Structure 1
């Protein structure tokens, strides 16, 4: 806010499992539900362990749609734009789509993490939590596609669901 310099950022206080359940319910009567239900069975087996870890990780302000398209150069400064999906969460959540879809090269990925860690602490969650957060991200993308028929994320959510089914839902470094 320009007047006070303070900004209010949304924080969902419900558990990770409740957040996922809400998204799954939202998508019940859609073309995606069969794939969602298949993967949800896998995630349910991992959720208790993932939830414990998730609760212990520090919370930060997330951009909510971190991607190359939202990084711009302006007056010799690198800036981040498009904050309408900002919220409180675990730092790794901001990079799920970024690492899954945009930064696949391991050297580039490691260089990004090195640079990030020079400025902020960053912990990569266990493979269990990574898979749960990948599922949550896929659900958020599918939910976004319900109100945006142009489906700007293409098949990314479908690919995420397949990665979970194939047990390839963790970050390679």
Structure 2
């Protein structure tokens, strides 16, 4: 694959190490006379999703459908870490994702998850071979007791979400923040975009979460969700992580999913 890409782009691409199921390369392309970034997808569906977003943004240099890959201009982004993230970055991130949700300009066929019950069923089924499955089924049964009320509220929160919103996909470019990696975009509850960000990047710090939500709601059309729907979405996020870490060996990420699951369990034990 690298040889074909080198010939096509007249380049000597170097592989970028990244915890992902995809492959990433970068290097100077004589064909385009600039530094380029190449992303090759393992999953054709994820390739198609990100392609639709980038096509609308007009940022593609070259689409390589036969390889489930595309070529972008290499951007000298500066990563943001928990240590370097200031309150102003939290506010900018809130405004950034609010704009993404509010624009809601992309229609993706067969990706609108309009039924909370079906989303729960799909995610529970996918981890049937994990040791946490019995606990997961117990929690799911509690959520289903109030599913009609939750369904109605869930439907009102549906927007196009990023699907993997967090510091690893929020980059600094000059004095602004930029979203990258759109392979998991879908229609789902807007709040689903926040859960990993709150847990992983804000460390569930109440004051930071409140700061983020204050500015998110001020720049979006969305309403505050109920605690039970929030818990439902934390549960769904935990199941997604536990399913992902069956395929990708990422113990730290797996612990995050288990932490979410424990918090959901604690909620039902105390309510």
Measured against the shorter chain, the TM-score band is: 0.7 to 0.9
Taking the aligned partners of 1:72 and 1:63, their CA distance within structure 2 comes to: 14
CA-to-aligned-CA distance 1:84-136 (integer Å, 9 cap, x gap): 11111221111122223332222222221222233212322111211111111
Instruction: Please list every run of 5 or more consecutive structure 1 residues that lacks an aligned counterpart in the other structure.
Output: none
Aligned to 1:164: 264
2:169 is the counterpart of 1:70 = yes
Question: Is the Cα–Cα contact under 8 Å of residues 39 and 161 in structure 1 kept in the other structure?
Answer: no
Taking the aligned partners of 1:153 and 1:85, their CA distance within structure 2 comes to: 17
2:249 is the counterpart of 1:149 = yes
Q: Which runs of 4+ in 1 moved over 4 A?
A: 1-8
Aligned to 2:38: none
Aligned residues between the structures: 168
Question: Is the Cα–Cα contact under 8 Å of residues 59 and 88 in structure 1 kept in the other structure?
Answer: yes
Find 2:138's aligned residue among 31, 38, 41.
38
Between 1 and 2, higher relative CO (CA 8 Å, sep ≥ 6) is seen in: 1
Task: Report how far residue 152 of structure 1 moved.
Answer: 5.1
Task: Report how far residue 146 of structure 1 moved.
Answer: 1.8
Larger radius of gyration: 2
TM-score by length of 1: 0.83
Taking the aligned partners of 2:121 and 2:220, their CA distance within structure 1 comes to: 31
Task: Report how far residue 7 of structure 1 moved.
Answer: 5.1
Task: Report how far residue 64 of structure 1 moved.
Answer: 0.3
TM-score by length of 2: 0.55
Question: Is the Cα–Cα contact under 8 Å of residues 71 and 81 in structure 1 kept in the other structure?
Answer: yes
Aligned to 1:25: 125
CA-to-aligned-CA distance 1:6-58 (integer Å, 9 cap, x gap): 85535234511112112211211223312312322322223232112112x14
Q: In 2 relative to 1, CA 4–100 (structure 1 residues): closer, same or farther, beyond 3 Å?
A: closer
Q: In 2 relative to 1, CA 94–3 (structure 1 residues): closer, same or farther, beyond 3 Å?
A: closer
Q: In 2 relative to 1, CA 7–31 (structure 1 residues): closer, same or farther, beyond 3 Å?
A: same
Instruction: Please list every run of 5 or more consecutive structure 2 residues that lacks an aligned counterpart in the other structure.
Output: 1-51, 58-104
